[in-house]
Amino acid sequence: MIDPFGRRISYLRVSVTDRCDLRCVYCMAEDMTFLPKREVLTLEELDRLCGTFIGLGVEKIRLTGGEPLVRRNVIGLVRSLGARIGAGGLKELTITTNGTQLTKLADDLYGAGVRRINVSMDTLDPAVFKSVTRWGELDKTMEGIFAAKAAGLAVKINAVALKGVNEGEYDRMIAWCGEHGLDLTLIETMPLGEISGDRTDQYLPLSIVRSRLREHWTLEETDYRTGGPARYFTVKETGRRLGFITPMTHNFCETCNRVRLTCTGTLYMCLGQEDAADLRAPLRDPAVGDDGLRAAIEQAMLRKPKGHDFIIDRREAKPALARHMSVTGG
């Protein structure tokens, strides 16, 4: 699949549920209204859609949420997709999770073909962790991380950079990740969805963070890529990778290779735009068939925009987009 700007689309992020067992302040409102079950695709429908995308050239799929591992029987979907890894199919199947379910499911994930996961953990301070997640317990997420490592999964920690919340912790997090053989990626907060806080207060440019980190760490340039938007450095003192995802200070739209599928079958060609394609209707219409489903996806690719319009500014009282990150899949 080639978009109107000549970019090859080879990466599909799939939100398998909008539900989550945490309520992170930058992602969700505390009192969320979730989708009725009738609107959510079955796991079999998600599998069929993913198979169609693979047939059109998608080589990497990341399962997201909400929290993907709270969806009942999700391991069945993981196994089905994992069976597609190989020549002419997927090159990689990965998952982004908050870690709360990993003590139960890490071995199953590895057995299904997953080899690498991202775990969202914004702080090493238990009190700050509870404040950021509203409901979370740091120990539970850490237990999940170590269970994943024990199962053979490579683990990368994702931390959203939040001004005045965790900005004093990055040195500690780099050291901790080095001690435990983990990579770390820092992410700028994005203006998605109505939340109780003020994003102008939360927003911390990673250009500033990187400059501060260089006072204590040697960050070596690397051409390492995972297929996503992160720019990676090697931390010489630990030997681990440190990534930066900067949708605000330096957008990565010119190399965008991905689209996002929600659990309702809505395809967003860009995280930062409202334009979307409804794939649930053709998926559930027996008169359409596989050829019609492929055609609907190909037509959607023709509408993929050049880039997003994210901005965080005190003059902009509303978020750039009304939908929460949990709806589109982190």
What pLDDT, on the 0 to 100 scale, is given for residue 71?
A: 96
* Inside any domain, residue 231: yes
Which structural domain range is residue 74 located in? 11-328
Classify each residue of 201-214 as buried b or exposed e, where b means 16 or more C-beta atoms within 10 Å of its C-beta. Answer: ebbbbbeebbeebe
* Inside any domain, residue 264: yes
The dihedral over CA atoms of 33, 136, 73, 143, expressed in degrees to the nearest 10, equals 170
Do the strands 219-221 and 231-235 form a parallel or antiparallel pair, or are they unpaired? antiparallel
* Residue 263 is labelled as binding a ligand: no
- Asked if the model's pLDDT at residue 248 lies above 80, the reply is no
Structure tokens at 278: 């409804």
Confidence of residue 169 (pLDDT cuts 50, 70, 90): very high
* Inside any domain, residue 151: yes
- Please state, in angstroms and rounded to a whole number, the distance separating the CA atoms of residues 299 and 276: 11
More confident residue, 107 or 197: 107
* Residue 23 is labelled as binding a ligand: no
What pLDDT, on the 0 to 100 scale, is given for residue 272?
A: 72
* Inside any domain, residue 5: no
* Residue 156 is labelled as binding a ligand: yes
- Check which CATH number belongs to the domain holding 15 and give it: 3.20.20.70
Contact 22, 72 (CB under 8 A): no
What pLDDT, on the 0 to 100 scale, is given for residue 253?
A: 76
Residue 47's Cα: distance from chain center in Å? Answer: 19
More confident residue, 311 or 240: 240
More confident residue, 88 or 254: 88
* Residue 66 is labelled as binding a ligand: yes
* Residue 26 is labelled as binding a ligand: yes
Give me the residue label for tokens 């997201």.
Answer: 64
* Residue 24 is labelled as binding a ligand: yes
pTM: 0.88
- Please state, in angstroms and rounded to a whole number, the distance separating the CA atoms of residues 37 and 41: 8
Structure tokens at 78: 């993981």
Please report, rounded to a whole number, the percentage of residues in the chain having pLDDT higher than 90.
73
More confident residue, 314 or 164: 164
* Residue 260 is labelled as binding a ligand: yes
What average pLDDT score do residues 91-97 get?
98
* Inside any domain, residue 6: no
* Lowest-confidence segment of 50-54, 155-159, 306-310, 316-320 by average pLDDT: 316-320
Alpha helices in 152-288 (DSSP H): 170-180, 199-202, 206-213, 280-284
Confidence of residue 86 (pLDDT cuts 50, 70, 90): very high
* Inside any domain, residue 251: yes
Do the strands 266-268 and 258-261 form a parallel or antiparallel pair, or are they unpaired? antiparallel
What pLDDT, on the 0 to 100 scale, is given for residue 226?
A: 80
- Classify 17 in phi/psi space as left (phi over 0), alpha (psi -120 to 50) or beta: beta
* Residue 253 is labelled as binding a ligand: yes
Confidence of residue 203 (pLDDT cuts 50, 70, 90): confident
What pLDDT, on the 0 to 100 scale, is given for residue 227?
A: 74
* Residue 170 is labelled as binding a ligand: no
Helix (H, G, I), strand (E, B) or coil at 167: coil
Q: Which amino acid is at 157?
A: I
Contact 61, 90 (CB under 8 A): yes
Contact 165, 198 (CB under 8 A): no
* Inside any domain, residue 1: no
* Residue 259 is labelled as binding a ligand: yes
Structure tokens at 317: 């009282």
What pLDDT, on the 0 to 100 scale, is given for residue 198?
A: 54
- Asked if the model's pLDDT at residue 285 lies above 70, the reply is yes
What pLDDT, on the 0 to 100 scale, is given for residue 36?
A: 87
Domain count, the chain: 1
* Residue 258 is labelled as binding a ligand: yes
* Inside any domain, residue 4: no
Classify each residue of 160-198 as buried b or exposed e, where b means 16 or more C-beta atoms within 10 Å of its C-beta. Answer: bbbbebbeebbeebbbbbbeeebbbbbbbbbbbbebeee
What mean pLDDT value characterizes the chain?
89
- Asked if the model's pLDDT at residue 319 lies above 80, the reply is no
What pLDDT, on the 0 to 100 scale, is given for residue 246?
A: 85
* Lowest-confidence segment of 34-48, 224-238, 285-299, 313-327 by average pLDDT: 313-327
What pLDDT, on the 0 to 100 scale, is given for residue 307?
A: 74
Helices 102-111 & 138-151 angle (0-180, nearest 10): 20
